[in-house]
Amino acid sequence: MKIVKSLILTLIGIMLVFTACDNMNTNPDINGDKGSGVLQVFLTDAPADYESVIIDIQEIRVHRSSDVEADEENNASESGWIVISDEPRKVDLLELTNGKTEFLGEAELEAGRYSQMRLILGDENELIMNGETHHLRTPSAQQSGLKLNIHADIESNSTYTLLLDFDASRSIVQAGNSGNFNLKPVIKTVNLAETGAIGGSVEPAEALPWVYAIAGEDTVAGTRANEQGDFLIIGILEGTYNVAVQPDEEEYLPVVIEGVEVTAPDTTFLETVTLEPVNGDENGNGNDENGE
Same structural domain, 177 and 204:
no
Of the ranges 76-85, 138-147, 233-242, 262-271, which one carries the lowest mean pLDDT score? 138-147
Q: How confident is the model at residue 281 (pLDDT cuts 50, 70, 90)?
A: low
CB count within 10 Å of CB 192 equals 18
User: What is the value of pTM for the model shown?
Assistant: 0.79
CA–CA separation, 233 and 243 (whole Å): 10
Enumerate the H helices of 168-247 as residue ranges: 168-171
Report the pLDDT averaged over residues 78-88: 87
- Tell me the residue range of the domain where 271 lies: 196-284
| CATH classification of the domain holding 265 | 2.60.40.1120
Which of 157, 185, 213 is the C-terminal boundary of a domain?
185
279 or 71, higher pLDDT: 279
Same domain, 134 and 203: no
What DSSP state is assigned to residue 158? -
DSSP H helices, the chain, are: 2-26, 28-31, 65-73, 139-143, 168-171
Residues 174 and 269 in one domain: no
Asked if the structure places residue 206 within a domain, the reply is yes
Do 172 and 236 share a structural domain?
no
C-beta of residue 174 within 8 angstroms of C-beta of residue 183:
no
- Say what the pLDDT of residue 24 is: 36
162 and 249 in a common domain: no
153-174 pLDDT tens trace: 999 999 999 999 999 999 999 8
The total number of structural domains in the chain stands at 2
CA dist 65 and 86 (Å) reads 21
Residue 250 has pLDDT above 90, yes or no: no
Position 284 confidence tier, pLDDT thresholds 50, 70, 90:
very low
Among residues 173, 231, 243, the alpha carbon closest in space to that of 203 is found at 231
d(CA 115, CA 168): 24
- Inside any domain, residue 267: yes
State the chain's mean pLDDT as an integer.
83
| In a domain? residue 28 | no
**Does pLDDT of 30 surpass 90?**
no
Query: Cα dist. 219→213, 243, 280 in Å?
Result: 6, 10, 29
Looking at residue 199, what is its pLDDT?
Answer: 98
pLDDT of residue 138: 83
Residue 13 forms part of a structural domain: no
Runs of H (alpha helix) within 27-167? 28-31, 65-73, 139-143
Identify whether 77 is part of a domain. yes
205 and 274 co-located in one domain: yes
Task: Give the tens place of pLDDT for each residue, 9-28.
Answer: 333 343 333 334 444 344 44
